[in-house]
Amino acid sequence: MRGLVHVGDGKLELRDLPVVSAGESGAVLRVEGSAVCIGDAETLHGYGPVMTTPLVLGHEIVGRVEDVGPTAPRALQELLGARVMIDDARPCGKCDWCLRDQKRFCKSPRYGHIVQDSSSSNWGGYAETVTLDEQSVLVPIPEDLPIELATFAFPVASGVEWLHLGAEIKAGESVAILGTSRMGAATALVALHAGASKVVVYGDSRGVDAIKTCWAMGANVRSFPAAPKIEGPYDVIVVVTEAPVEYVAASVEMAGPLGRVILACTSTKPSGMEPETIRRKGLTLKGGRGASAQSLKKAVEIVSAERKRLRGFAGEVHGFEAAEAVLKGLLDGGVVRGAHVVIQDAASSRSNVDA
């Protein structure tokens, strides 16, 4: 089985890996494509979330269940032959988070984050096949969605988690999204689908791919404001995953009275938020982490329903051989381009979607 292995020093090595087996109680997913999270690109630049090697990266995986063991859980058996997306979380079902039905916080190792060993298991999407077991959470995907749109449901699911479950967005509200990134564009789609009266994406002009997508969908795009206090006010503000820490303090300045601010920014630096501004406006601040299975299902519905709006969406598909250069090229001086890229075995590079 062919697979791309991160071996350290920013290198992806194409290797022949052990053939994945369903065994008695597992299953095998034939990978159709795995979208690139910016964390994978950061890993190759030396500062990603998982630096242990050897590791098959890729955790935004779409494929088809092609083999199921005789004693596998019914949930896997019923999906034999189905086209599905894999929730990257592999909840243990036993910890406090799982028992509280907050499985995305479970600390069980995730797809694309598990070090390769000598077994026949594979947990990363940049490969021909992936292991499924009792901890795998699968969401069916319509057959007619091109792989670029099928995988775009992953970042859209985060937008669903942030706007619907976190901010409880209502039709007619105004939304600001801080970060011209792939996550920013996906969150803009969720806001537009929800009937927001105004959707503005703020960020760095180097996020060229995300900016094109946002304009094509009907969202407005502006540079990060020099004077955040005079922007808005907005009912809901989302600071997306890839946003710099400076955007966090700006978010509370741009929020209106009783506004809701979702902070998904992963920076570990001090934010500079002013507590008095939060108190005076009566703001609600929530952290935004990942997406639940519930949000993944909703994201598939949104992408399917919004194909007309996504007609100008640009996605790229690249084969294994080009993957290392493509991933490294997603960052421009540490700033994301905002491209939606899919790695697919034996794919001839292509872009754009006839939605």
Residues ≥6 apart with Cβ < 8 Å to 328? 10, 41, 44, 45
Closest alpha carbon to 318 in 141, 148, 145 = 148
Judging by DSSP bridges, how do beta strands 255-263 and 234-239 pair with one another? parallel
pLDDT at 333: 81
Distance CA 156, CA 139 (A): 14
Given a cut of 70, the residues of the chain with pLDDT beneath it are: 48-50, 347-355
Identity of residue 23 = G
pLDDT at 334: 81
Distance CA 306, CA 312 (A): 11
CATH topology of domain 2-141+314-351: Quinone Oxidoreductase; Chain A, domain 1 (3.90.180)
pLDDT at 179: 96
Right CATH for 157-287 from 3.40.190.10, 3.30.1440.10, 3.40.50.720, 3.40.640.10: 3.40.50.720
pLDDT at 175: 98
pLDDT at 349: 52
pLDDT at 170: 98
Joined tokens for residue 93: 């079902």
Residue 19 half-sphere exposure, CB side, CA atoms within 13 Å? 4
In the block, tokens 């922007």 appear at: 231
Domain ranges of the chain: 2-141+314-351, 157-287
Distance CA 70, CA 304 (A): 34
Distance of CA 136 to the CA centre of its chain: 17
Q: Is the peptide bond before 233 cis (omega within 30 degrees of 0)?
A: yes
pLDDT at 112: 93
Judging by DSSP bridges, how do beta strands 27-35 and 340-343 pair with one another? antiparallel
- Kindly give the interhelix angle for 293-305 and 182-193, rounded to the nearest 10 degrees: 70
- Cα–Cα distances (Å) from 70 to 20, 67, 82, 86, in that order, read 16, 10, 17, 21
Judging by DSSP bridges, how do beta strands 83-86 and 60-68 pair with one another? antiparallel
Query: Residue 41, class by beta-carbon neighbours within 10 Å (0-12 exposed, 13-18 middle, 19+ buried)?
Result: buried
